Structure formats: C-alpha cells, structure tokens
C-alpha cells in the first residue's frame, strides 16, 4: 500500500501536462491547483535556470577540451540533441525527483526496479493496450496483477481466464519449486496463439535456456491442460545482478511492438534475435555490458545500461500522469491510477469510450512522443551525462528552495 500511495501521489502531480499535451480541457478545480503549484514553482525557477546554465557550460567546456565534441553552432544535429535534453529537463517538476527515489534504485537494492517501476516504464504501452484489443495485455506481478493462487499453474490458468482472447505479456519474479516462493529476479512469460495453437514464450535475461527444466516442471499441469507449447529464450542479456527489471521492461516493449512477428516462432529453444529487431536487441545487450553514470534524486550512481535508465527516469519525471485520461466532459473516464493499481477495467467499455472520444489517436501519439524521448538517450552517453547533471542541478535547487522557505517561515513566526 505504501508504494501504491506513492504512485497515486506521483500520478496526481502532472495530469495537467498530459491534458495540455493532448489539448484536453480541465475543470476549474484542477486549474486552480495548477495555478497554485505554478506560483510555488516560480520561487525557485530562476535558481534552477542559473544552475542548469552553469552545469551545461561546464559540460560543454569539458567536452571541448577532451575533443569528444567539436562545438559548431551550425551543427543542427547537435543543437537538436541538446535542445531535446534541455526541453526534457525544463519540463520536469523537481518535486517528482524525490517521489521516484525507490522505483528504479534504492540504498538497499542498488539499480533494482520495483514492480511499480517496471509498470511505470511501460505506462504508454499500457494505455495503448487499453485502446487496441489486438495488442497484448501487460501485467506486472505485485503492481497491476496480484492474484496468489496455490501454484504457478493455477496462477496461469486464472490469467488465461481473465484475458481469454488476448495475448498476454506477464512480468513476474522467477518462481521456485516451493509454491508461493519466488526468486528476486524478474522474468517474462508471453501467452499467445498461432493457428489456434496455444503457445508460451519464456524469457530469462540471465539464462541461455539451460535452466528451464524447473520452469517446465512447475508449469507442466498448465501446459498439459491447455495443450500449450513452451518456447524458451536462449538469449543472454544481463551481465550484472540488478538489471533484470530494466531488461524485462525493454524486452516486453520489443515483444509488444513486434508481437505479430512472434507468432511465427517454433521450436523449444528460440533466439530472440530471430523475431525481435536486431538493432534494438543488440543495443540493449551492448548497454547492459557497460556501466555509465545516472542520477537518481540528485545522487549519482555508476550502473549498467545507464542510457535505458535515463530514458525510463526522464519519461517518469516528465509525465506525472494523474487523473482522467479522457476529456473531462466524458460521461465515464479511465485513469492511469486505475491501470497502475490493477483495478478492474472492462476493456470492451474502455474501447467504446476511446472510440467515442477519439482517445485512440492520442494513445498512439503518446507512444510516439515517448519514443522520441527515449531516442534522445538510448545509445547517447553524452546526453545521458547532460541529463544526469541537469537532474542534479534541479534537485540541489529544489533542496535550497525548501531550505530558504523554511528559513523565511521561521523568521516570519518571530514577529
């Protein structure tokens, strides 16, 4: 419940940004709230701009001296990238930085993604899934799916009943032979059909398919009853002990966006490169092989796949998705709060609302918008560095602003 409350608080912070992005109208209440928040933000806006300006100048000087980037004002590509990073930073509410402090890493679990963190990194596809019945449902254990049957086979039977005619992407902790006990390692199961045949794809970012016998044995009752074939990935991606959640999110994204290709897989052992885009998969593998600096809540860490981490963190900080996802004058409404917290949503009803109010186009636009943000960081170490420095400056300015406000308040109380 603690994490769900924090997610709800996070969601409440930026519905105005999403509504403004889609051009939706808002109620007077939300407008007043945004005006108050805007007024409070202006107190430290100038301080943020100065800090960011100094940081950016410092970065440019370092790059110029090291020869990594030749500064040319006429370079439209460089300017475009710099503007992209700066625009993302400019659109971040500093208060969100603290709200995300445990979703993507923590002092106890360095670099570890919580179930909520994984779901947040996929929120655009969650919305898209609600709008397109032909696309897979996305479930994350402990976030928007919390059933706890006595065995994994029973759990999978329940999932199949709930989403009988949909393909399903299910991210969960790797099970053990003991029912109800899981390892601290995120994996993926993908339920799909091909030529009326039920199939199940199993992806473990650490395994090369050698440790799948236990999974097959645990799932044997489910596989036999549903006459479902099991296909095990032999592609190893993870090179550390903490990036499983990040990799599960990224592989799930690739599967979702390329689900049509996956219907053609055959054989007990499969290579992800046979049906997922090789360029994207190779980029993920390469990023997971090296460490880079990433800034969370003003603290810098050296972690694998820092570019993908920056992409996830930037999207989460920039979009504080709260409230209703349809226009405020809709008779019924769908909220991210409902989706992220696993509340039951009638997909048929959701599709009717989407069709009536034209949100289907907006969900597609949101996926494209986030794709643009991701492209700024993935494979671009310089932009990750600039973003990390920008987050650090925002966090410091925010802390200083809070301190100055407390000092002013204490002085005021003396009169």
DSSP string, 187-249: EEEEEEEETTEEEEEEE-SS-SSTT-HHHHHHHHHHHHHTTEEEEEE------SSS-HHHHHH
17 has a pLDDT exceeding 90: no
Greater pLDDT, 123 or 23: 123
pLDDT band at 185; cut points 50, 70, 90: very high
Q: How far apart are CA 153 and CA 170, in angstroms?
A: 14
- Separation between Cα atoms, residue 318 and residue 334, nearest integer Å: 21
Higher pLDDT, 7 or 107: 107
Q: Residues 191-196: what's their mean pLDDT?
A: 88
> Given this model, what pLDDT does residue 123 score?
82
Q: Who contacts 383 (Cβ-Cβ below 8 Å, separation ≥6)?
A: 81, 84, 85, 310, 376, 377
Q: Which of 189-198, 246-255, 261-270, 385-394 has the highest mean pLDDT?
A: 246-255
- The least confident of 9-23, 51-65, 78-92 is 51-65
Domain boundaries, the chain: 115-292+311-352
Rounded Cα gap, residues 315 and 242, in angstroms? 21
Q: Which fold has domain 115-292+311-352?
A: Adenoviral Proteinase; Chain (3.40.395)
- Cα–Cα distance measured from residue 94 to residue 261, given in angstroms and rounded to the nearest whole number: 41
Question: Could you tell me which of 12, 5, 22 has the C-alpha nearest to residue 365?
Answer: 22
How many C-beta neighbours within 10 Å does residue 270 have? Answer: 20
| Distance separating alpha carbons of residues 358 and 355, to the nearest angstrom | 5
Count of helix runs (H) and strand runs (E) in the chain: 17, 8
Return d(Cα 26, Cα 104) in angstroms, integer. 31
Q: Average pLDDT over the chain, rounded to whole?
A: 75
pLDDT at 333: 54
Q: Which of 38-47, 169-178, 252-261, 325-334 is least confident?
A: 38-47
| pLDDT (mean) for 217-232 | 91
Q: Is the pLDDT of residue 296 over 80?
A: yes
Confidence of residue 163 (pLDDT cuts 50, 70, 90): confident
d(CA 291, CA 36): 41
What residues pair up with 170 in beta bridges, in sequence order? 139, 189
pLDDT of 334 over the 70 cut:
no
Query: What is the C-alpha to C-alpha distance for residues 41 and 14, in angstroms, rounded to an integer?
Result: 13
Residue 191's pLDDT is 95
Residue 147, helix vs strand vs coil:
coil
pLDDT given for residue 404 in this prediction: 63
* Average pLDDT rounded to a whole number, residues 19-39: 38
- The count of C-alpha atoms lying within 13 angstroms of the C-alpha of 304, restricted to the half-sphere facing its C-beta, is 21
Quickly state the pLDDT bin for 353 (edges 50, 70, 90). low
- Per DSSP, 273 falls in state G
The pLDDT of residue 37 is above 50: no
At residue 345, the 3 state secondary structure works out as: coil
Measured between alpha carbons, how far is 364 from 126 in angstroms, rounded to an integer? 11
Write out the H or E segment, with its range, that includes residue 18.
helix 15-22
The confidence score (pLDDT) of residue 44 equals: 40
Query: Which pLDDT score is estimated for 319?
Result: 67
């Amino acid at each position: 419940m603690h994490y769900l409350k924090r997610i709800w608080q996070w969601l409440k912070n930026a519905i105005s940004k999403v509504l403004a992005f889609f051009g939706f109208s808002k109620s007077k209440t939300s407008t007043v709230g945004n005006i108050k928040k805007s007024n409070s933000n202006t107190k430290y806006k100038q301080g943020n701009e100065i800090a960011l300006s100094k940081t950016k100048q410092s970065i440019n000087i370092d790059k110029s001296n090291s020869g990594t980037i030749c500064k040319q004002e006429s370079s439209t590509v460089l300017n475009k990238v710099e503007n992209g990073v700066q625009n993302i930073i400019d659109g971040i509410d500093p208060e969100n930085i603290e709200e995300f402090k445990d979703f993507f890493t923590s002092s106890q679990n360095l670099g570890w993604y919580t179930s909520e963190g994984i779901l947040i990194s996929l929120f655009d596809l969650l919305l898209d899934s609600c709008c397109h019945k032909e696309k897979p449902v996305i479930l994350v254990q402990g976030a928007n799916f919390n059933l706890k049957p006595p065995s994994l086979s029973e759990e999978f039977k329940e999932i199949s009943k709930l989403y009988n005619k949909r393909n399903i992407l299910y991210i969960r902790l790797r099970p053990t032979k003991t029912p109800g006990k899981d390892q601290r390692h995120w994996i993926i199961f993908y339920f799909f059909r091909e030529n009326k045949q039920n199939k199940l794809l199993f992806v473990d970012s650490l395994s090369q398919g050698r440790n799948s016998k236990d999974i097959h044995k645990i799932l044997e009752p489910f596989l036999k009853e549903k006459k479902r074939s099991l296909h095990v990935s032999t592609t190893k991606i993870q090179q550390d002990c903490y990036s499983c959640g990040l990799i599960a999110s990224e592989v799930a994204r690739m599967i979702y966006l390329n689900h049509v290709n996956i219907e053609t897989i055959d054989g007990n052992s499969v290579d992800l490169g046979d049906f997922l885009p090789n360029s994207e998969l190779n980029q993920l593998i390469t990023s997971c092989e090296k460490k880079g600096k990433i800034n969370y809540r003003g603290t810098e860490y050296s972690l694998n796949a820092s570019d993908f981490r920056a992409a996830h963190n930037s999207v989460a900080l920039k979009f504080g998705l709260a409230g209703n996802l349809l226009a405020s004058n809709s008779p019924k409404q769908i909220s991210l709060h409902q989706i992220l917290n696993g509340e039951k949503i009638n997909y048929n009803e959701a599709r009717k609302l989407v069709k009536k109010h034209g949100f289907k186009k907006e969900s597609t636009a949101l996926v494209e918008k986030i794709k643009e943000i991701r492209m700024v960081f993935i494979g671009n170490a310089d932009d990750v560095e600039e973003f990390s420095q920008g987050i650090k400056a925002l966090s410091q300015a925010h802390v200083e602003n809070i301190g100055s406000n407390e000092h002013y308040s204490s002085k005021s109380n003396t009169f």
